[in-house]
Amino acid sequence: MMNGGRDIDLAQLAKQRAQRYRNLVLLGRIGTLVIFLGLWQILTDLKIVDPFFFGSPIGIVKRLGDWFVNGTAYGSFWYQIWVTMEESILGFVFGVLAGVFFGVLLGEIPLLSDIMTPYIKMVNALPRIVLGSIFVIWLGLGLPSKVMLAAVLVFFVVFFNAYQGVKSVDRNLVAHARILGASRLDLVRHVVVPSATSWIIASLHVALGFSIIGAIVGEFLGAQHGLGLVISTAQNNFDTNGVFGAMLVIGVIAISAEGLMGLAEKRLLAWRPASANDGARNSI
């Protein structure tokens, strides 16, 4: 009773301190960026580093502005962004679906996985980027070859995690569900897949990056549209600012996608106990 007031004071103080710390972090981040960009700009302005090779922040902004306003040689810049995003998204979706399906299938049927393991390891050991060339030959310069490459890159990441997730299902839970009358299919749906979900979700972050890499590399290898083509054209013209500019756009896309996935993850894994560093959200 007596120290009720002091408790409130303490809580208030802790809150203030946390707020001050957050402000400091934010300030530090902005500061780092300003110093980095400032130095880059000044050093290239003074020709201490060659702007031809290193571009400059203002040059990049101008380049991007030009693209957004006047478009590129092969259509509006927005369209290039959309093409790359479409390829990544389709590649991501197909890759994830196939990865989960085959991961669960092989995880559930040991004979099948024993038969397939050496081949899967072999294909996985290949530098899969070279498959892009084959896909271009097979599927042409359009969208399908890029989707295929992105999907293959995504597939392996998701597949291995899904497989591992299925393998590490708690046998106790399986026994419990079987006793309660679950059929094989019920087990997969209610026990195996939910249990593998945290493994699968962990792989999706890496898979997302791979889907974008797949699309861009595919465009590099031969395309009529897309950010990869924008970059390779800029590269051929020694347009350093162009390469950096396109990179920046890709970065923004990747970060936004990552954010969306964070939201999806929170929904899918709502049942999980809060981890140590977000415990504050659940407790008072």
Partner 1 sequence: MVSNSTSGGDIVLEGVTKRFVTPTGQAMTAIRDVNIKIGAGKFCAIVGPTGCGKSTTLTLTSGLDTLSAGTIHVAGRPVMGITPGVGFVFQNDALLPWKSVIANVAFGPLMNGIPKAQAMEKAREWLATVGLTGFENHYPHQLSGGMRKRVQLAATLINDPSLLMMDEPFSALDVQTRAIMTNELMNLWEQSKPSVMFVTHDLEEAIAIADQVVVMTVGPATVKDVFEIDLPRPRGAIQDIRFQPRFLELYKLIWNSLREEVERSYAMAAAKRETA
CB atoms within 10 A of CB 63: 21
Among the listed residues 131, 152, 154, 191, the single contact to partner 1 using CB under 8 A: 191
Which of 49, 58, 141, 173 lies at the binding interface for partner 1 (CB under 8 A)?
173
Query: Taking CB under 8 A as the rule, does residue 194 contact partner 1?
Result: yes
Task: Give the number of residues in contact with partner 1, rule: CB under 8 A.
Answer: 20
* Choices 116-124, 173-181, 230-238, 247-255 (CB under 8 A): range interacting with partner 1: 173-181
Contact between 167 and partner 1 by CB under 8 A: the answer reads: no
3-state secondary structure the chain: CCCHHHHHHHHHHHHHHHHHHHHHHHHHHHHHHHHHHHHHHHHHHCCCCCHHHHCCHHHHHHHHHHHHHHCECCECHHHHHHHHHHHHHHHHHHHHHHHHHHHHHHHHCHHHHHHHHHHHHHHHHCCHHHHHHHHHHHHCCCHHHHHHHHHHHHHHHHHHHHHHHHHCCCHHHHHHHHHCCCCHHHHHHHHHHHHHHHHHHHHHHHHHHHHHHHHHHHHHHCCCCCHHHHHHHHHHCCCHHHHHHHHHHHHHHHHHHHHHHHHHHHHHCCCCCCCHHHHHHCCC
Q: Does 175 bind partner 1 (CB under 8 A)?
A: yes
Task: Provide, rounded to whole angstroms, the least separation between the CB of residue 95 and partner 1.
Answer: 24
Query: Which residue in 74, 190, 235, 247 binds partner 1 (CB under 8 A)?
Result: 190
Query: Rule CB under 8 A: is residue 248 a binding residue for partner 1?
Result: no
Q: Check binding of 201 to partner 1 (CB under 8 A).
A: no
Q: Is 51 in the site for partner 1 (CB under 8 A)?
A: no
Give CA–CA dist 106/100, Å, rounded: 10
Under the criterion CB under 8 A, does residue 272 sit at the interface with partner 1? yes
| Residue nearer to partner 1 on the CB measure, 236 or 282 | 282
For residue 185, state whether it binds partner 1 (rule: CB under 8 A): no
Q: How far is the CB of 269 from partner 1 (least distance, A)?
A: 8
| N-terminal to C-terminal alpha carbon distance within the chain | 20
Among 66, 86, 108, 186, binds partner 1 (CB under 8 A): 186
Q: Rule CB under 8 A: is residue 93 a binding residue for partner 1? A: no
Q: Does 177 bind partner 1 (CB under 8 A)?
A: yes
Q: Binding of partner 1 at residue 276 (CB under 8 A)?
A: no
Residue 128: phi, psi to the nearest 5? -70, -15
Instruction: State the minimum distance, in angstroms, from the CB of residue 196 to partner 1.
Output: 11
Please tell me whether residue 265 binds partner 1 under the rule CB under 8 A: no
Residues near partner 1 (CB under 8 A) = 172-173, 175-183, 186, 190-191, 194-195, 197, 271-273
